């Protein structure tokens, strides 16, 4: 899974920008934006690399000697470090605006490392206080968060071709932290083979609408148990070779859906990890799940019919086994009942509830749920 990045501006975003000369060139001028420290502390707990990205006009020239820059900058870094906030990288451009240097934001000359293909720019963000920060996000293929009052921000972006890259305008760091915590556990996968073409967009915290279409009506009915009972949002479309049979469609949906769940979980910090016994009419379904990083699968669900709706019952075991491997989890499923429709629907509902339980996250406790220190 590719790393995601938060590119964070400095002056006007983390530090108050002095209105007289726009330079934080002394310790006396060092002042944090309200909420920046606590907001940055929240971001440091998320599954992103933190990168400082700042234009410092004329740094190293007589207009802005380096010896006046580093004391305040170093104190800022030490203050943040005291709260557990460390930058993985610092990108500082020292040129003047009139030089039109390719390294100066919003140009991307400083960001070559992050455009190499090793990072997921579509799930990365630029956080800043200027329209040029939004333009930088647009140029990087990332999203932008503009730290301004809404009316001011909307005016800044009015008529700008890059405005669509801005997903949030707010003057409050607390809103930034809340937004990123709410949206970070998502994944989007497009997978095309000679047998199927599948698009999956998943949000574990249920932000957004759901839609499901696989070409198999009963399979769709079962998959709908996930948004209904796991509290996730799921957009899933599969176009498979159903003229051959159902196997490729069901198997490949399991692989892509399992991979999406795995990606959306990210670092797994703060999750409950384990999760469900559920009755449905005359049936009982038990699903045990452990996102511990090791795949093992146990299935004990006896069917008495070859098909339920338009799906062969033998494919349900294959579906959950394929998804188990893709999720890198332990998955035990057992069910008993008389009606085969109730039996498998109980399994899907129990799986959805087990998933909801296991991925539930305590936003105030971001420990890794493992005595080994790794999952």
Q: Which sequence positions are flagged as catalytic?
A: 9, 11
Residues 6+ apart with CB under 8 A from 105: 9, 53, 54, 55, 93, 132, 133, 136
Q: Are 279 and 342 in contact (CB under 8 A)?
A: no
Cα 56 to Cα 59: distance, rounded to the nearest angstrom: 6
Cα 294 to Cα 88: distance, rounded to the nearest angstrom: 29
DSSP, collapsed to helix, strand or coil, labels residue 261 as helix
Q: Which residues pair with 166 in a beta bridge?
A: 144
DSSP, collapsed to helix, strand or coil, labels residue 274 as strand
Taking 3-state DSSP, the helix, strand and coil percentages for the chain, each rounded to the nearest 5, stand at: 35, 25, 40
Count CB-CB contacts under 10 A for residue 190: 11
Interhelix angle 36-44/66-81, nearest 10 degrees = 60
Phi, psi for residue 311 in degrees, rounded to 5: -125, 130
Q: Are 39 and 173 in contact (CB under 8 A)?
A: yes
Cα 78 to Cα 80: distance, rounded to the nearest angstrom: 5
Cα 351 to Cα 357: distance, rounded to the nearest angstrom: 10
Cα 73 to Cα 64: distance, rounded to the nearest angstrom: 13
DSSP, collapsed to helix, strand or coil, labels residue 82 as coil
- Please, where are the H alpha helices in 124-245? 131-140, 150-157, 173-183, 217-223, 225-230
Cα 345 to Cα 284: distance, rounded to the nearest angstrom: 10
Q: Are 238 and 212 in contact (CB under 8 A)?
A: no
Separation of CA 301 from chain center: 34
Integer angstrom CA distances of residue 332 from 300, 301, 347: 8, 11, 11
């Amino acid at each position: 899974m590719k790393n995601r990045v938060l590119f964070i501006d400095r002056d006007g975003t983390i530090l108050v920008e002095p209105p007289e000369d726009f330079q934080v060139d002394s310790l006396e001028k060092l002042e944090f934006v309200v909420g920046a420290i606590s907001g940055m502390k929240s971001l440091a707990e998320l599954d992103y690399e933190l990168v400082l990205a700042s234009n410092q006009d004329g740094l190293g020239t007589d207009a802005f000697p380096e010896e006046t820059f580093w004391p305040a900058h170093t104190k800022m870094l030490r203050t943040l470090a005291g709260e557990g906030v460390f930058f993985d990288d610092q990108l500082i451009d020292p040129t003047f605006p009139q030089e039109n240097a390719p390294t100066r934001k919003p140009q991307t000359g400083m960001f070559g490392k992050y455009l190499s293909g090793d990072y997921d720019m579509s799930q990365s963000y630029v956080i800043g206080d200027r329209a040029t920060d939004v333009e930088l996000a647009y140029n990087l293929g990332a999203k932008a968060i503009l730290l301004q009052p809404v009316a001011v921000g909307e005016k800044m972006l009015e008529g700008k071709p890059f405005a669509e890259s801005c997903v949030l305008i707010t003057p409050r760091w607390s809103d930034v932290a809340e937004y990123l915590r709410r949206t970070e556990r998502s994944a989007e996968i497009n997978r095309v083979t000679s047998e199927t073409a599948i698009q999956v967009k998943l949000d574990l915290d249920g932000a957004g609408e759901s839609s499901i279409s696989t070409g198999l009506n009963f399979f769709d009915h079962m998959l709908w148990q996930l948004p209904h009972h796991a509290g996730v949002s799921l957009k899933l479309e599969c176009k498979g070779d159903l003229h051959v049979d159902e196997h490729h469609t069901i198997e490949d949906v399991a692989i892509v859906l399992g991979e999406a769940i795995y990606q959306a979980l990210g670092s797994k910090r703060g999750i409950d990890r384990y999760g469900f016994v559920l009755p449905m009419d005359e049936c009982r379904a038990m699903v045990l799940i452990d996102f511990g990083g090791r795949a093992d699968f146990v299935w004990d669900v006896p069917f008495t019919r070859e098909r339920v709706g338009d799906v062969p019952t033998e494919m349900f075991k294959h579906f959950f086994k394929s998804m188990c491997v893709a999720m890198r989890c332990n998955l035990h499923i057992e069910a008993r009942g008389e009606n085969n429709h109730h039996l498998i629907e109980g399994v899907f509902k129990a799986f959805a509830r087990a998933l909801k339980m296991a991925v539930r996250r305590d936003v105030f406790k971001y420990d890794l749920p493992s005595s080994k220190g790794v999952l």
